[in-house]
Amino acid sequence: MTTREIDNAAWPDARPRLSVLIPFHRNDPSDLIRRLDSEAAALAGAIELVLLDDGGGDAALTTRVAQRLARLALPARLVVLSQNVGRARGRNRLAAAARGRTFLFLDSDMRPDAPDFLQVWADLEAVQTPAVAIGGFSLLQAPDAPEFAVHRALAAASECIPAAVRARTPEKYVYTSNLMVRRDVFSAEAFDTGFSGWGWEDVEWGLRVARRHKVLHPDNPATHMGLDTVATLAAKYASSGANFARVAERHPEVRNWPGYRAARLLQRLPWPPAVTARLALKAAEEPRLPVRARAFALRLYRAAVYAGALP
Q: What is the mean pLDDT of each run of 10 residues along the chain (311 residues)?
A: 90 96 94 96 94 91 95 96 87 94 96 97 96 95 95 93 92 88 94 87 91 95 94 96 95 93 97 98 98 98 98 94
Beta bridge partners of 209: none
- Residue 63 shares a structural domain with residue 182: yes
Segments forming the whole domain that contains residue 301: 228-311
Instruction: Indicate which CATH number applies to the domain containing 11.
Output: 3.90.550.60
- Residue 84 shares a structural domain with residue 160: yes
- Residue 92 shares a structural domain with residue 174: yes
- Residue 104 shares a structural domain with residue 195: yes
Number of Cβ atoms within 10 Å of the Cβ of 205? 24
> What pLDDT is stored for residue 57 in this prediction?
86
Of 176, 209, 227, the one marking the end of a domain is 227
- Bridge-based pairing state of the strands 47-54 and 18-24: parallel
In this prediction the pTM is: 0.90
**How many domains does the chain divide into?**
2
> What pLDDT is stored for residue 297 in this prediction?
98
Dihedrals phi, psi of 291, to nearest 5 degrees? -60, -40
